Chains A and B, each alone.
Chain A
Amino acid sequence: MSRLSPDSLQKLHEEMASFLAPRLKQELTPGVPDYPYHLLVCGGTGCHATRSLEVMVRLRGEIETRGLQEKALVIETGCNGFCAQGPVMTVYPGGIFYQYLKPEDALEIIQEHVLKGSPVERLMYHDPETGQPVYRMQDIPFFGLQAPRVLRNRGLIAAERIEEYIGRQGYLAACKALLEMSPEQIIKEVKDSGLRGRGGAGFPTGMKWEFASRSRARVRYVLCNADEGDPGAFMDRSVLEADPHSVLEGMIMAAKAIGAHQGYIYCRAEYPLAVKRLGMAIEQARNYGLLGKGILGSGFDFDLEIYRGAGAFVCGEETALMTSIEGKRGMPRPRPPFPAVEGLWRKPTVLNNVETLASVPQIILQGARWYNALGTLRSKGTKIFALTGDIVNVGLVEVPMGTPLGTIIYDITGGIRKGKRFKAAQLGGPSGGCIPAQHLNAPVDYESITQLGAIMGSGGMIVMDEDKCMVDVARFFMEFCQDESCGKCTPCRVGTQKMLEILTRICHGEGREGDIETLERWASIIQNTALCGLGQTAPNPVLSTLRYFRQEYEAHIREKRCPAVVCSALFKAPCIHTCPVEMDIPTYVTLARLGRLEEAYKVLLRTNPFPSVCGRVCDHKCELKCRRGTLDDPVHIKAIKRYITDHAPMPRQEPLSPTRKEHIAVVGAGPSGLAAARELALRGYPVTVFEELPEAGGMLIWGIPEYRLPREVLRKEVQAILDLGVELRCNTKVGRDISWEELKRGFDAVYLAVGAHRSMKLGVEGEDLQGVYGAVEFLRKVNLGEPPALGERVAVIGGGNSAIDAARCALRLGAGEVTILYRRLRPDMPAQEEEIRAAEEEGVKIRYLVTPVKFLGEDSRLREILCQRMALGEFDSSGRRRPVPLQGENFSLKADAALLAIGQIPVLPFPAEGDGIKVSRGGLIQTVPGSKTRVSESLIFAGGDAVSGPDTVIGAIASGKVAAREIDSAIRLRNGEEPFREPALAQIEIPAEVTETPQGPRASIPHKDPQRRRKDFTEVELELPEELMVREASRCMRCDIQVA
């Protein structure tokens, strides 16, 4: 190696460019070897951890034993970015991408790909939708949708060879800046490019340089901040590992711009590979005369040192970083004076982040206009994000500024793992904040992110799914901040500690009224009085979670409940906590395992009046949070519950004689009304239930088809409630058979559980044609035994459980062809996945991204549906993509009947807005603030679907129980009585033992054969055989046992 002159640099560049040429060739003819092959194995920290070095050794070994050295070259690159799939490798020409490599795959790759020219499909990325292998890296959405600029060399060059960097135009920018440009020109170019600091604050880089260049001091410094410390952030590390020279080159230009001759890279010692590669890069650059005296013969001197930080987060703050380089304890200093005036050793200093500096060479080489063509009005260029958390593809992405958040999360990184819901993205680390689902459309740029209460930060993005508790997240970040506070200023040192104490208390269920307000007050004081950025931003995670998830804090404080089921101090087991009526799942599962079914049934009835119903039609949210699910599959709680109720005799409940004088009316004998009636009766109240239809059961009987819930099961449990002494008056409609006023006069309290029995209309032409029915009305008719004639072809509109029920009933009624029209995609369907699958098995067709726009008929009878094809557009407030019509994409569908299942509203027994009861625009009854069921000053309560809209059975039961409790306590409060005391439960001994079962999938529930079952209404789901039930129950990990 010898010192380079501008000419020899150019010559070296040309030589190396032709060496690298095969790596730019994207074309490939399968089956025809195209030598030489460059095998680019990822050598980032992530892939090292998954043994990429061994893969490399094996590949080299195979090449050597076959004497292929001339034909195939193995190169260790820096981080490729697709870290979750590591070790990864790209083979050029062609850019064939391999993932999850193992050392033993080397043989096949050499034999097939190198020798025969046939890439190994087995090792490629497979499209999750189609299951097809994707050959070229560029065709993988993760890569294809990115715009690599800073990362332009990632996975493409050997990170430890300066020559390959030069082959990719390396140091040509430095050459231009040193020999052809004045400092003013460099600064102007950077200013014009609009480049802003990528460390987080987004200060315009050119302006920073200009300030420092104006100083009259003789000695100045250029510093690179590589003290990346945000949890989940690894952008800088990857740049340093993959392309260290781009940072050095950026620093040379910064030095020239401000007139500095010495620079430091402050890199955390926890990045040994980055430090090693930086050290090698500096050494190589010095050997070529690209650092040191008279760089490239320009007469400009600049040299660099690496300073290793000891892992203090605060040393990422500029003044603390400088104090640390000075050899002192890394504590921030007050500003002013700003570093551009008095920085390192009180000399003018420019400090830039790794990514900022690595952006500069391209700006100088390609010009400001090329750079600022990408981005938004005030945020130019691209930004690298390190994506971690609950996403499918963890890794590093570089996208243009202004790319919507949803695009990054769903399109590039493949969305949320295990099909869960997106809850929030945490940007900016401990200084940042959360962006919730309703802002998935937000463009990611400095201003928009700040407006949403987060910060761009250095680019760490932690994606969280529905299973994350936001109070816990805030507590985590606060713990981080208070731990990393340098201790210098009071607000940061003590304030964060005190805020953490409150947050910890809340997470432990010891939150108090006023805690939220105290947090907000302290947060604002800390923000406004702390010395440095660390303290000033430390409250951000709390404030941003409070902004979007205040109700989660309130649930922790007021109800001692963690909605995401994370804060384990608040519950015995996740399943219990998830269940709306808090069924004691581990207990009855254990009893079932031990064969003590009768006792198990008693446990079921303690909290749930309809256990056998729930054993069949519950949406079993408990299983979603079952910890066994993190190991293999959740325990089949629903099936165990059904087994108990099917095999044990129902425990007898003696009739109760009322002990109280207050008489309660319940309107509607659905699950909510009956649950309330039972709870009230147990508390000693005489209860009368009014039901419009001939039989009690509500939606359970009139909505859910019999093939899902056999009627005798339901009747048994309804009868048990009536046996307690509850009076039921069927065929009695309030407002028709008994007036609303009469009801209020005759009873001390009224519980409205009228359900939502009217289907919503689409609001399109032709909806009143014969053959167009509401799904609820249709199901009611079917269950009353008076099904309408549907004809041959039936279309069902909607994607919820009602749609599926309607479709499957239509099939059973003899329709030849049943098609569900849904306007979004399957993952967005509200219906339960197993229901959808069962419908498909029976022959129901589902057409996605379709919505009816017109019903066409002949002789006022439906004949045809004009449909509009849809596409998914922006995200709506629920975090799902909104369907938008595809212009000109219409088609018509022949149909003899259409069933509308797009939503239901209640039919209220009283005039709208009567009695001060508020009704929402959607037709739902609204409760008064502070109560879940009370709807008016007088003792009128409401619950179930009439309040929540169409919900689950268990949700209705829960609201009935809440209503009973609220009615009871309202009456007692009015009378000045003591609150109700729960009677002691009969003790049921269960062993506190954990059975260990080997890992493996859960039992699948047997179903009747689809071809047979589609003909009648007999029950489709069959019960679990005893042996399987016991095995399922043994899989319970007994989270309820406390280990002292």
Chain B
Amino acid sequence: MDQTATVRLSIDGKEIRVPENMTILDAARENGIRIPTLCHHPALSSWGGCRICVVEVDKAPRLVASCVMPVREGMEVVTSNQRILESRRTILEFLFAERNHYCMFCAQSGDCELQSLAYELGMDHLTVPPSFKEFPVDATNPYMALDHNRCILCGRCVRACKELAGNSVLNYQNRGARTLVCKDLNEPTADSSCDASGVCLQVCPTGAIYHRLRPHQAVLGKKGPLRVVQTRCPVCGLLCETQCTLREENLIRIDGALSTKRPDRGQLCRKGRFEPMLNRAGRILEPMVRQADLSLHPTTWEDALEKLSAGLMEARHRKGGILGMVCADCSCEEMWLMKELVEEGLGGHLGLLEREALVAVQKAFREMERTFLGLRECSWVHLAEADFILLVGADPEASHPLLASLIRRASMEQGAKVVSVGSTPVLPSCKVMHWGVAPEALPSAARALLAGAVQAAGGSDPITRWKRILSELESAGSEGLPGELSEEVKKEGQEMALGFMRANSPVIVAGPELLGRREHSALLQIMFLALLKGLLPQNALRLILLKPGGNAASALRLNCLEIPEEVEKQGAGACLVLLGGDQNRELHGVVPKADFLALIGAHVPHELMRRAHVVLPRPLWPEQGGNYLSLDGHEVGNVSAIQSPPAGLRRSWEVLLALAGRAGIRGLPSDPQVLSARSLAALNLS
């Protein structure tokens, strides 16, 4: 039983009992008494700056800020009387008069906490003469702008940047009335270390930090029915909880769930918050087939499906057979249906577009399976409590910005040591010990690390076993190691390994430079290194692999990473590619040549478009949802669709089922729920 001590106090004459250490504000709110606030935010630390929440305690002349004042036994609190209201109103007027708060010209009008406070406190005119000084606007970031004219210096953004994003880009400059929020050493956003997570935008109570992609879409300020849908973000595999706000079918805002219990504290990164809202010019919205004039022409679904299935059937027995390709952003359902269609139904092969980025992973896991059955990666949430983080060939800020913020926070809040081994320095706004290693020297570095760790671990029994394996590996000379390691490399590796071994809960984060190697020995050595420190629950290694896309873990489970070597080299009879990504981004992999090429996607790279015979549109993730497996494979996230696809579009699983029907493949479930269940079962995740 929790033995938290409680105190008794009265608020506005009401006797209440609350746990000690609670603030007056929380005590009041818990008891249904409203105290207005501005700089206070439940997801952030207390600040006590705006003084809007002042209350009277024990009739003292000096008012106290209820958001920071702890309760005390016998305290008598008054939250509202003439003096308090006059003070609040004057403070509010001070804020309005300080900069240029002319609501009717503000994009945020209607959705502004400052404005609604004015209504609440009955501030219908200003008695404090306003200043007419013009402040700068920083619009150097494509997603959000910082307009100092509307800033009230509540410091929410500064705290959010530090406490949630762990980035500390934002701070203040100058003093007194000249105080401005600034980035780094007063850099414009574009030149600063800001990674545009947008958490500052989410907590800004006014229009000071505003959305540039939807600049005139204040959530509350416009007419029209609003809809808020809770879902998960499938973009990078961390499955962040998001809150999407829509007016009719228009997505006007994506926010993080700041009340979450997850260690990411409810933030989102630029990929989850802003990129889904980017302009979708160039999107494919109707089926197309290549006509006799050799160019693609729009056509009906029936015609396109007919041409597609004919092309596949014809190629079935041709050299190279049928090749299916999925993108790492596809949902579990899509991947499983593709596998059923291509491998089971048509006898072809299914491969992953981003396969080259994961070559070593597939091989290493196979190897691991051989030696240590059932080992897996650990969950990414371990990063939050790590005290030593070893980055190997990884740049989390580029691929998984949220993990980057967890690392920065671990470094800042717990003093976790962060060490990076790789070709370029990473995480510029975090204290990182960087060991610069060229890609070709990465195996040596990995070997040095492992050697150092083995040495540090001493000669206990399990260790001898690892040593044996190590020597086996070395004798195999798997990656043409340049003989003996230099003393310098050895020493550096030794030191890092020592830090790793001494830490209480170290975690290794391995990235593309390691995962995409042809030879997998370096990755294996890193796996051994993780193994040396012992396993986490659920047979999990202290290792996180930064895979591309949002659902690469599923591809790994479906064992569809590779494609046969001869197909890779000589091409396939027909190739059906399912592109999952929303954006017209560069493909992570190569589509082998094929006599017949069919594409399903929302955006298709020009180079593929030129080669395609049939192109079918695909809805984006907010339009069709689906299940996604988290980066580490530990969790299934159900991403619900938040809006309907554009008119005339079919959901990709409907298209795949229709194709299967035409190819005469039976037994695939047409009910979406059954389909989901079957696909999860195929992934051993039911």
The complex places the Cα of A531 from the Cα of B46 at a distance, in Å, of 13
Residue of A nearest to B128 (CB): A498
The complex places the Cα of A530 from the Cα of B94 at a distance, in Å, of 13
Inter-chain contact A483/B90, CB cutoff 8 Å: no
Residues of A within 8 A of B49 (CB): 488-490, 531
Minimum C-beta distance from B80 to chain A (A): 15
The complex places the Cα of A489 from the Cα of B48 at a distance, in Å, of 7
Contacts A483-B175, A487-B175, A487-B179; is A529 near B54 (CB within 8 Å)?
yes
Contact partner of B176 (CB less than 8 A), chosen from A336, A490, A496, is: A496
The complex places the Cα of A536 from the Cα of B63 at a distance, in Å, of 11
Contacts A528-B87, A530-B51; is A490 near B174 (CB within 8 Å)?
no
Q: Quick one: CB contact mask for A518-544 with B, threshold 8 Å, 1 for yes?
A: 000110010111110000100000000
Inter-chain contact B176/A485, CB cutoff 8 Å: yes
Mark the stretch among B64-72, B355-363, B452-460 that contacts chain A: B64-72
Inter-chain contact B179/A493, CB cutoff 8 Å: yes
Q: Quick one: CB contact mask for B154-188 with A, threshold 8 Å, 1 for yes?
A: 01000000000000000110111111000000000
Residues of A within 8 A of B296 (CB): none
Residues of A within 8 A of B152 (CB): 490
Q: Considering residues B49, B174, B176, which has the most beta carbons from chain A within 10 angstroms of its beta carbon? A: B176
| B98 CB-CB contact with A under 8 Å | yes
Q: How large is the interface on A (under 10, 10 to 19, 20 to 34, 35 or more residues)?
A: 20 to 34
Q: A interface, by DSSP: helix, strand, loop or mixed?
A: helix
| A501 CB-CB contact with B under 8 Å | yes
Residue of A nearest to B171 (CB): A329
Inter-chain contact B62/A334, CB cutoff 8 Å: no
Inter-chain contact B51/A489, CB cutoff 8 Å: yes
Inter-chain contact A329/B172, CB cutoff 8 Å: yes
Residues of B within 8 A of A527 (CB): 62
Residue of A nearest to B177 (CB): A497
| A955 CB-CB contact with B under 8 Å | no
Inter-chain contact B175/A484, CB cutoff 8 Å: yes
Inter-chain contact A486/B175, CB cutoff 8 Å: yes
Contacts A334-B65, A531-B48; is A487 near B174 (CB within 8 Å)?
yes
Inter-chain contact B51/A490, CB cutoff 8 Å: yes
| A495 CB-CB contact with B under 8 Å | yes
Residues of B within 8 A of A485 (CB): 175-177
Minimum C-beta distance from A320 to chain B (A): 11
Q: Considering residues A312, A488, A496, which has the most beta carbons from chain B within 10 angstroms of its beta carbon? A: A488
| A491 CB-CB contact with B under 8 Å | yes
Inter-chain contact B50/A490, CB cutoff 8 Å: yes
Residues of A within 8 A of B153 (CB): 487-488, 493
Inter-chain contact B155/A488, CB cutoff 8 Å: yes
Inter-chain contact B94/A490, CB cutoff 8 Å: yes
Residues of B within 8 A of A493 (CB): 98, 153, 176-177, 179
Minimum C-beta distance from A171 to chain B (A): 38
Inter-chain contact B176/A529, CB cutoff 8 Å: no
| B97 CB-CB contact with A under 8 Å | yes
Interface residue ranges of A327-360 to B (CB < 8 Å): 329, 331, 333-334, 336
Residue of A nearest to B99 (CB): A494
Residues of A within 8 A of B54 (CB): 529
| B394 CB-CB contact with A under 8 Å | no
The complex places the Cα of A498 from the Cα of B98 at a distance, in Å, of 9
Q: Considering residues B46, B49, B62, B153, which has the most beta carbons from chain A within 10 angstroms of its beta carbon? A: B49
Inter-chain contact B176/A528, CB cutoff 8 Å: no
Residues of A within 8 A of B68 (CB): 334
The complex places the Cα of A846 from the Cα of B128 at a distance, in Å, of 60
The complex places the Cα of A336 from the Cα of B65 at a distance, in Å, of 11
The complex places the Cα of A538 from the Cα of B474 at a distance, in Å, of 74
The complex places the Cα of A536 from the Cα of B54 at a distance, in Å, of 14
| B73 CB-CB contact with A under 8 Å | no
Residue of B nearest to A522 (CB): B90
| B303 CB-CB contact with A under 8 Å | no
Minimum C-beta distance from A370 to chain B (A): 37
Minimum C-beta distance from A800 to chain B (A): 47
Inter-chain contact A529/B87, CB cutoff 8 Å: yes
Inter-chain contact B95/A494, CB cutoff 8 Å: yes
| A238 CB-CB contact with B under 8 Å | no
Residue of B nearest to A494 (CB): B94
Interface residue ranges of B28-65 to A (CB < 8 Å): 46-52, 54, 61-63, 65
The complex places the Cα of A529 from the Cα of B51 at a distance, in Å, of 7
The complex places the Cα of A186 from the Cα of B419 at a distance, in Å, of 49
Residues of A within 8 A of B50 (CB): 489-490
| B86 CB-CB contact with A under 8 Å | yes
Residues of B within 8 A of A545 (CB): none
| B213 CB-CB contact with A under 8 Å | no
Residues of A within 8 A of B98 (CB): 493-494, 497
Contacts A329-B172, A334-B48; is A491 near B62 (CB within 8 Å)?
no
Inter-chain contact B65/A531, CB cutoff 8 Å: yes
Inter-chain contact B86/A525, CB cutoff 8 Å: yes
Residues of B within 8 A of A498 (CB): 94, 97, 128-129
Contacts A312-B175, A329-B172, A484-B175; is A491 near B48 (CB within 8 Å)?
no
The complex places the Cα of A484 from the Cα of B175 at a distance, in Å, of 6
Residues of A within 8 A of B131 (CB): 497, 501
Residues of B within 8 A of A525 (CB): 86-87, 90-91
Residue of A nearest to B56 (CB): A528
Residue of B nearest to A502 (CB): B129
Inter-chain contact B86/A484, CB cutoff 8 Å: no
Residues of B within 8 A of A612 (CB): none
Residue of A nearest to B54 (CB): A529
| A482 CB-CB contact with B under 8 Å | yes
Contact partner of B62 (CB less than 8 A), chosen from A495, A521, A536, is: A536
The complex places the Cα of A874 from the Cα of B87 at a distance, in Å, of 43
Contacts A488-B155, A528-B61, A528-B87; is A483 near B48 (CB within 8 Å)?
no
Q: Quick one: CB contact mask for A180-221 with B, threshold 8 Å, 1 for yes?
A: 000000000000000000000000000000000000000000
Residue of A nearest to B153 (CB): A487
Inter-chain contact A528/B48, CB cutoff 8 Å: no
The complex places the Cα of A314 from the Cα of B172 at a distance, in Å, of 15
Q: Quick one: CB contact mask for B66-89 with A, threshold 8 Å, 1 for yes?
A: 001110000000000000001100
The complex places the Cα of A491 from the Cα of B131 at a distance, in Å, of 15
Inter-chain contact A482/B51, CB cutoff 8 Å: no
The complex places the Cα of A482 from the Cα of B176 at a distance, in Å, of 6
Inter-chain contact B62/A484, CB cutoff 8 Å: no
Minimum C-beta distance from B129 to chain A (A): 7
Contacts A334-B65, A334-B68; is A531 near B51 (CB within 8 Å)?
yes
The complex places the Cα of A58 from the Cα of B54 at a distance, in Å, of 64
Residues of A within 8 A of B69 (CB): 334, 336
Residues of B within 8 A of A312 (CB): 175
The complex places the Cα of A528 from the Cα of B84 at a distance, in Å, of 10
Residues of B within 8 A of A333 (CB): 48
The complex places the Cα of A171 from the Cα of B69 at a distance, in Å, of 42
Residues of A within 8 A of B47 (CB): 488
Minimum C-beta distance from A514 to chain B (A): 10
Residues of A within 8 A of B177 (CB): 482, 485, 487, 493-494, 496-497
Minimum C-beta distance from A785 to chain B (A): 66
Residues of A within 8 A of B63 (CB): 528-529
Contacts A487-B175, A493-B176 aside, 16 further interface pairs with beta carbons under 8 A come to A314-B175, A334-B68, A482-B177, A489-B48, A489-B50, A489-B51, A490-B50, A491-B51, A493-B179, A498-B129, A501-B129, A522-B90, A527-B62, A529-B62, A531-B49, A531-B51
> CB within 8 Å of B: which residues of A?
312, 314, 329, 331, 333-334, 336, 482-491, 493-498, 501, 521-522, 525, 527-531, 536
Q: Please name the 5 residue pairs, one residue from A and one from B, whose CB atoms are nearest each other, closest first.
A: A487-B179, A494-B94, A334-B68, A334-B48, A485-B176
Q: Please, could you name 22 A-B residue pairs with CB atoms under 8 Å apart, sorted by A?
A: A334-B65, A334-B69, A336-B69, A336-B70, A485-B175, A486-B179, A487-B172, A487-B176, A487-B177, A488-B153, A491-B91, A494-B98, A496-B177, A501-B129, A501-B131, A522-B90, A529-B54, A529-B63, A529-B87, A531-B49, A531-B65, A536-B62
> CB within 8 Å of A: which residues of B?
46-52, 54, 61-63, 65, 68-70, 86-87, 90-91, 94-95, 97-98, 128-129, 131, 152-153, 155, 171-172, 174-179
